[in-house]
Amino acid sequence: MQTNLSFDTAHVLLLSAVTGIFLLAGFVKGVVGLGLPTVAVGLLGLFMPPQQAAALLIVPSLATNLWQLLAGGRFVWLLRRLWLMLAGIVAGTLLGANFMAADSVGHATIALGMALIAYALLGLAAARFSVSAGKEKYLSPVIGLTTGLITAATAVFVIPAVPYLQALNLEKDELIQALGLSFTVSTIAMAAGLAQGGALHMEGAAISLIALLPALGGMFVGQWLRAKISAVLFRRCFFVGLLLLGLHLSSHLWR
C-alpha cells in the first residue's frame, strides 16, 4: 500500500510540474513568438535528464509550431528557399541522436545550459546580422547541420537557426512562418532521433499529450497579453531568466 501511495504521489507531482512548466512555456511563446521548447526543456532539465524532457516536448512543440507554420501564406516559397537548411537540421539531429542516450555523466545538461546562455546573450545584445543571397546557399546547410547537432545534444533548436533566419531579412510574417517551419522540422527530426535511440515510451507520450492543453492555454493567454504589455521589457526579462537558468544548468563546469 505504501509503495502504491508513493508511486501515485510521484506521478501527481510530475504531472503538476509538467503542467505548470508548459503553461509558462506556452505563455512565453504567445508573447514573443518563440521559446516554448527552450523554456520547457530548460525548466524540466532541473529535475530530469534532457533526453526525458525532450520526449515530453514532442506533442506540445509539434502542435504549437504547426499552428505557427500554417498561419501564413508563404509555406511553399519558404520551403523552396530553406530546404537546404531543413535537410541539414534532419541530418544533424539524426547523426547526433545517440549523444543524449549515451550521456551518463551530465554532459547533455551542461550542453543545454551553454546553449541557453548563448541564446540569452544574443537576445540581450539585440545582435543583428545580415546574410546576402549569394552566401545563403552555402551557409544554409551548415547552419542546419549545426542546429541539428545542438538539437540532438540539448533538445533546444534555436541556435544558430533563429539568428540565421533573422539575418535573411524576411518580412515579419515570413519570419514567423519560417520559424514555425524550422521548429516543426526540428521537432519531427528530434522525435525520430529519440525513437531511434529507444527513448520514446508510451508513458512519456501520454504525458506529452497531457502537456499540450496547458501549452495551448498559455499560448492563447500570451497572445492576448502581447498587446497589453511592453514586448521589449518582457523579452529582456525572458532572456535574463534564460541566462540564469543556463548558468545554473552548466554550473557543473565550475565544480
CA dihedral 184, 101, 164, 33 (to 10 degrees): 50
pLDDT at 3 over 60: no
Beta carbons of 214 and 24 less than 8 angstroms apart: no
pLDDT of residue 6: 46
Q: Is the pLDDT score of 242 beyond 70? A: yes
pLDDT at 2 over 70: no
What pTM, to 2 d.p., does this model score?
A: 0.81
Q: How far, in Å, CA of 230 to CA of 60, rounded?
A: 26
Cell of 205: 507520450
Does residue 125 surpass a pLDDT of 90?
no
Label residue 91 by pLDDT band (50, 70, 90): very high
- Classify 254 as helix, strand or coil: helix
> What percentage of the chain carries pLDDT values higher than 70?
88
Please, which residues have CB within 8 angstroms of residue 88's CB and are 6 or more apart in sequence? 140, 141, 142, 143, 144, 145, 146, 147, 148
Mean pLDDT taken over the chain: 82
**Residue 243 · residue 41 · CB < 8 Å:** no
The predicted structure's pLDDT at residue 199 = 65
Place 137 in a pLDDT band, splitting at 50, 70 and 90.
confident
Question: What's the Cα-to-Cα distance from 111 to each of 1, 212, 245, 250, rounded to whole Å?
Answer: 41, 26, 12, 7
**Contact assessment for residue 222 and residue 30, using Cβ atoms and an 8 Å cutoff:** yes
Query: What mean pLDDT do residues 84-100 have?
Result: 88
Q: Which tens digit of pLDDT belongs to each residue from 142-196?
A: 999 999 998 888 888 888 898 899 889 888 778 888 988 999 999 999 988 888 7
Please report the sign of the dihedral spanned by the C-alpha atoms of residue 127, residue 22, residue 95, residue 175. Answer: negative
Residue 93 reports pLDDT greater than 90: yes
Band of pLDDT at residue 85, cut at 50, 70 and 90: very high
Domain residue spans in the chain? Answer: 35-204+230-249
